[in-house]
Amino acid sequence: MQCSLQGKNAIITGGGSGIGQAIACLFAENGAQVRILELKAESAATTVERIQNAGGQAQAYACDVSDQTQVTSTVEEILRRDGRVNILVNCAGVAHIGNLEKTSEADMDRVYAVNIKGVYNGMYAVISPMVAQGGGVILNVASVAAAVGIPDRFAYSMSKGAVLTMTLSVARDYIDKNIRCNSISPARVHTPFVDGFLAKNYPGKEQEMFDALSRTQPIGRMAKPEEVAALALFLCADEAGFITGCDYPIDGGFITLNN
Protein backbone atom coordinates (compact mmCIF):
# COMPACT_ATOMS: atom_id res chain seq x y z
CA MET A 1 0.00 0.00 0.00
CA GLN A 2 1.33 3.40 -1.01
CA CYS A 3 0.58 6.16 1.50
CA SER A 4 0.58 9.75 0.29
CA LEU A 5 0.87 13.01 2.19
CA GLN A 6 0.55 15.09 -0.95
CA GLY A 7 -0.68 18.57 -0.12
CA LYS A 8 -0.25 18.06 3.63
CA ASN A 9 1.68 20.41 5.91
CA ALA A 10 3.53 18.58 8.67
CA ILE A 11 5.29 19.95 11.74
CA ILE A 12 7.89 17.60 13.19
CA THR A 13 9.65 18.37 16.45
CA GLY A 14 13.12 16.94 16.92
CA GLY A 15 13.55 16.47 13.19
CA GLY A 16 17.26 17.20 13.23
CA SER A 17 18.47 13.66 13.88
CA GLY A 18 17.53 10.07 14.54
CA ILE A 19 13.87 9.06 14.36
CA GLY A 20 12.69 12.63 13.80
CA GLN A 21 15.01 13.08 10.86
CA ALA A 22 13.88 9.80 9.30
CA ILE A 23 10.23 10.82 9.69
CA ALA A 24 10.87 14.25 8.20
CA CYS A 25 12.64 12.79 5.17
CA LEU A 26 10.02 10.10 4.53
CA PHE A 27 7.13 12.54 4.91
CA ALA A 28 8.73 14.90 2.41
CA GLU A 29 9.43 12.01 0.04
CA ASN A 30 5.72 11.24 0.12
CA GLY A 31 4.58 14.76 -0.68
CA ALA A 32 4.35 16.62 2.62
CA GLN A 33 5.65 20.12 3.19
CA VAL A 34 7.80 19.56 6.27
CA ARG A 35 8.39 22.13 9.00
CA ILE A 36 11.04 21.08 11.51
CA LEU A 37 11.17 22.46 15.05
CA GLU A 38 14.60 21.74 16.47
CA LEU A 39 16.67 23.10 19.34
CA LYS A 40 19.88 22.75 17.32
CA ALA A 41 19.48 24.84 14.19
CA GLU A 42 22.48 23.24 12.47
CA SER A 43 20.97 19.75 12.83
CA ALA A 44 17.66 20.91 11.39
CA ALA A 45 19.48 22.59 8.51
CA THR A 46 21.13 19.28 7.65
CA THR A 47 17.75 17.55 7.46
CA VAL A 48 16.29 20.35 5.34
CA GLU A 49 19.24 20.13 2.94
CA ARG A 50 18.75 16.37 2.57
CA ILE A 51 15.07 16.85 1.83
CA GLN A 52 15.59 19.67 -0.66
CA ASN A 53 18.40 17.80 -2.44
CA ALA A 54 15.93 14.94 -2.93
CA GLY A 55 13.37 17.32 -4.42
CA GLY A 56 11.20 17.73 -1.33
CA GLN A 57 9.94 20.78 0.53
CA ALA A 58 11.14 21.62 4.04
CA GLN A 59 11.98 24.48 6.32
CA ALA A 60 13.64 24.58 9.73
CA TYR A 61 12.79 26.65 12.79
CA ALA A 62 15.06 26.94 15.82
CA CYS A 63 12.76 26.24 18.75
CA ASP A 64 13.00 24.98 22.33
CA VAL A 65 9.94 22.76 22.68
CA SER A 66 9.98 23.17 26.47
CA ASP A 67 9.26 26.91 26.05
CA GLN A 68 5.57 27.44 25.29
CA THR A 69 6.08 30.98 24.04
CA GLN A 70 8.65 29.79 21.50
CA VAL A 71 6.46 26.92 20.34
CA THR A 72 3.27 28.95 19.95
CA SER A 73 5.03 31.81 18.17
CA THR A 74 6.76 29.37 15.82
CA VAL A 75 3.49 27.61 15.00
CA GLU A 76 1.84 30.98 14.42
CA GLU A 77 4.63 31.87 11.99
CA ILE A 78 4.12 28.59 10.18
CA LEU A 79 0.38 29.19 9.98
CA ARG A 80 0.92 32.66 8.52
CA ARG A 81 3.14 31.10 5.86
CA ASP A 82 1.25 27.89 5.10
CA GLY A 83 -2.31 28.62 6.19
CA ARG A 84 -2.86 25.31 7.98
CA VAL A 85 -1.20 22.48 9.89
CA ASN A 86 -2.42 19.05 8.86
CA ILE A 87 -0.01 16.93 10.88
CA LEU A 88 2.00 17.29 14.09
CA VAL A 89 4.61 14.71 15.05
CA ASN A 90 6.02 15.18 18.55
CA CYS A 91 9.40 13.47 18.35
CA ALA A 92 11.71 15.77 20.33
CA GLY A 93 12.92 14.09 23.50
CA VAL A 94 15.78 13.53 25.90
CA ALA A 95 16.99 10.40 27.63
CA HIS A 96 18.02 9.76 31.21
CA ILE A 97 19.63 6.70 32.75
CA GLY A 98 19.17 6.03 36.43
CA ASN A 99 16.88 4.50 39.03
CA LEU A 100 14.95 6.53 41.61
CA GLU A 101 17.97 7.06 43.87
CA LYS A 102 20.10 8.21 40.95
CA THR A 103 17.52 10.64 39.59
CA SER A 104 18.03 14.14 40.93
CA GLU A 105 15.41 16.85 41.00
CA ALA A 106 17.29 18.57 38.17
CA ASP A 107 17.16 15.34 36.14
CA MET A 108 13.40 15.05 36.67
CA ASP A 109 12.82 18.68 35.74
CA ARG A 110 14.85 18.35 32.53
CA VAL A 111 13.09 15.18 31.39
CA TYR A 112 9.69 16.62 32.27
CA ALA A 113 10.39 19.90 30.47
CA VAL A 114 11.23 18.26 27.14
CA ASN A 115 9.44 14.91 27.08
CA ILE A 116 6.17 15.92 28.73
CA LYS A 117 5.84 19.68 28.57
CA GLY A 118 7.34 19.70 25.08
CA VAL A 119 4.65 17.32 23.82
CA TYR A 120 1.96 19.33 25.60
CA ASN A 121 3.30 22.58 24.09
CA GLY A 122 3.23 21.15 20.59
CA MET A 123 -0.31 19.85 20.91
CA TYR A 124 -1.50 23.01 22.65
CA ALA A 125 -0.15 25.16 19.82
CA VAL A 126 -1.83 23.22 17.00
CA ILE A 127 -5.10 22.05 18.52
CA SER A 128 -7.12 25.26 18.08
CA PRO A 129 -6.00 25.75 14.45
CA MET A 130 -6.83 22.10 13.74
CA VAL A 131 -10.28 22.51 15.25
CA ALA A 132 -10.83 25.69 13.22
CA GLN A 133 -9.76 24.07 9.93
CA GLY A 134 -11.92 21.00 10.49
CA GLY A 135 -9.41 18.34 11.50
CA GLY A 136 -5.85 17.11 11.66
CA VAL A 137 -3.54 14.37 12.86
CA ILE A 138 -1.28 14.26 15.90
CA LEU A 139 1.31 11.54 16.42
CA ASN A 140 3.35 11.35 19.61
CA VAL A 141 6.51 9.29 20.04
CA ALA A 142 6.24 7.36 23.29
CA SER A 143 8.31 4.26 24.15
CA VAL A 144 8.06 0.66 25.29
CA ALA A 145 9.12 2.15 28.62
CA ALA A 146 5.54 3.39 28.97
CA ALA A 147 4.28 -0.19 29.07
CA VAL A 148 6.93 -2.29 30.84
CA GLY A 149 9.49 -1.82 33.58
CA ILE A 150 12.97 -1.17 32.19
CA PRO A 151 15.97 -1.04 34.55
CA ASP A 152 17.46 2.38 35.30
CA ARG A 153 14.88 4.39 33.33
CA PHE A 154 12.86 5.95 36.16
CA ALA A 155 12.48 9.50 34.82
CA TYR A 156 12.36 8.45 31.18
CA SER A 157 9.65 5.86 31.84
CA MET A 158 7.66 8.46 33.78
CA SER A 159 7.78 10.83 30.85
CA LYS A 160 6.81 8.31 28.21
CA GLY A 161 3.92 7.04 30.32
CA ALA A 162 2.66 10.62 30.35
CA VAL A 163 3.02 10.85 26.56
CA LEU A 164 0.86 7.75 26.18
CA THR A 165 -1.91 8.99 28.47
CA MET A 166 -1.89 12.50 26.98
CA THR A 167 -2.37 10.83 23.61
CA LEU A 168 -5.43 8.94 24.81
CA SER A 169 -6.91 12.05 26.41
CA VAL A 170 -6.55 14.19 23.29
CA ALA A 171 -7.95 11.41 21.11
CA ARG A 172 -11.02 11.18 23.34
CA ASP A 173 -11.59 14.93 23.68
CA TYR A 174 -11.25 15.76 19.98
CA ILE A 175 -12.67 12.72 18.20
CA ASP A 176 -15.75 14.75 17.27
CA LYS A 177 -13.54 17.49 15.80
CA ASN A 178 -12.06 15.15 13.17
CA ILE A 179 -8.70 15.16 14.94
CA ARG A 180 -6.93 11.83 15.25
CA CYS A 181 -4.27 11.34 17.93
CA ASN A 182 -2.09 8.24 18.23
CA SER A 183 1.31 7.29 19.58
CA ILE A 184 4.07 4.91 18.64
CA SER A 185 6.29 3.12 21.15
CA PRO A 186 9.69 2.09 19.83
CA ALA A 187 12.09 -0.19 21.64
CA ARG A 188 15.80 0.39 21.05
CA VAL A 189 16.48 2.20 17.79
CA HIS A 190 19.96 2.60 16.29
CA THR A 191 20.39 6.36 16.26
CA PRO A 192 23.39 8.68 16.70
CA PHE A 193 22.40 8.90 20.39
CA VAL A 194 23.15 5.21 20.82
CA ASP A 195 26.53 5.54 19.14
CA GLY A 196 27.38 8.56 21.27
CA PHE A 197 26.31 6.80 24.46
CA LEU A 198 28.49 3.78 23.69
CA ALA A 199 31.50 5.90 22.74
CA LYS A 200 31.23 7.88 25.98
CA ASN A 201 30.57 5.02 28.38
CA TYR A 202 32.30 2.03 26.75
CA PRO A 203 35.38 3.33 24.88
CA GLY A 204 37.06 0.53 23.01
CA LYS A 205 34.11 -1.80 23.60
CA GLU A 206 31.53 -0.07 21.45
CA GLN A 207 30.81 -3.00 19.14
CA GLU A 208 30.67 -5.49 21.99
CA MET A 209 28.15 -3.39 23.90
CA PHE A 210 26.19 -2.61 20.75
CA ASP A 211 25.80 -6.33 20.11
CA ALA A 212 24.76 -6.90 23.73
CA LEU A 213 22.11 -4.19 23.56
CA SER A 214 20.87 -5.57 20.25
CA ARG A 215 20.42 -9.01 21.81
CA THR A 216 18.04 -7.57 24.41
CA GLN A 217 15.51 -7.27 21.59
CA PRO A 218 13.87 -10.66 20.92
CA ILE A 219 14.19 -10.06 17.18
CA GLY A 220 17.98 -9.87 17.67
CA ARG A 221 18.68 -6.32 16.53
CA MET A 222 17.75 -2.69 17.07
CA ALA A 223 15.21 -0.97 14.88
CA LYS A 224 16.24 1.34 12.08
CA PRO A 225 14.90 4.91 12.24
CA GLU A 226 13.45 4.36 8.77
CA GLU A 227 11.31 1.50 10.08
CA VAL A 228 9.80 3.74 12.74
CA ALA A 229 9.26 6.43 10.11
CA ALA A 230 7.32 3.99 7.92
CA LEU A 231 4.86 3.34 10.74
CA ALA A 232 4.56 7.08 11.38
CA LEU A 233 3.82 7.67 7.69
CA PHE A 234 0.94 5.22 7.69
CA LEU A 235 -0.60 6.55 10.91
CA CYS A 236 -0.50 10.15 9.64
CA ALA A 237 -1.88 9.32 6.19
CA ASP A 238 -5.52 9.25 5.17
CA GLU A 239 -5.21 5.47 4.82
CA ALA A 240 -5.23 5.33 8.65
CA GLY A 241 -8.33 7.51 8.90
CA PHE A 242 -10.17 5.02 11.14
CA ILE A 243 -7.37 4.85 13.71
CA THR A 244 -7.30 7.08 16.78
CA GLY A 245 -6.57 6.70 20.47
CA CYS A 246 -4.09 3.88 19.88
CA ASP A 247 -0.49 3.19 20.81
CA TYR A 248 1.57 1.10 18.42
CA PRO A 249 4.64 -0.73 19.79
CA ILE A 250 7.39 -1.12 17.22
CA ASP A 251 9.67 -3.19 19.36
CA GLY A 252 10.89 -6.40 17.76
CA GLY A 253 8.76 -8.38 20.20
CA PHE A 254 10.16 -6.64 23.29
CA ILE A 255 6.89 -6.20 25.19
CA THR A 256 5.24 -9.54 24.50
CA LEU A 257 8.19 -11.89 23.95
CA ASN A 258 10.83 -10.68 26.40
CA ASN A 259 9.39 -12.43 29.48
Active site residues: 156
* Residue 158 parent element (H or E): helix 154-173
DSSP-assigned letter for residue 60: E
- Give the list of residues 6+ apart from residue 212 with CB closer than 8 angstroms, or none: none
The side-by-side arrangement of strands in the sheet containing 87-90 is: 57-62, 33-38, 9-13, 87-90, 136-141, 179-186, 247-250
The backbone torsions φ and ψ at residue 51, rounded to the nearest 5 degrees and listed phi first, read -65, -45
Which of 147, 150, 39 is closest to 96 using CA atoms?
Answer: 150
Compute the distance between CA of residue 218 and CA of residue 224 in angstroms, rounded to an integer: 15
Residue 115, classed as helix, strand or coil, is: helix
- How far is 180 from 228, CA to CA, in rounded Å? 19
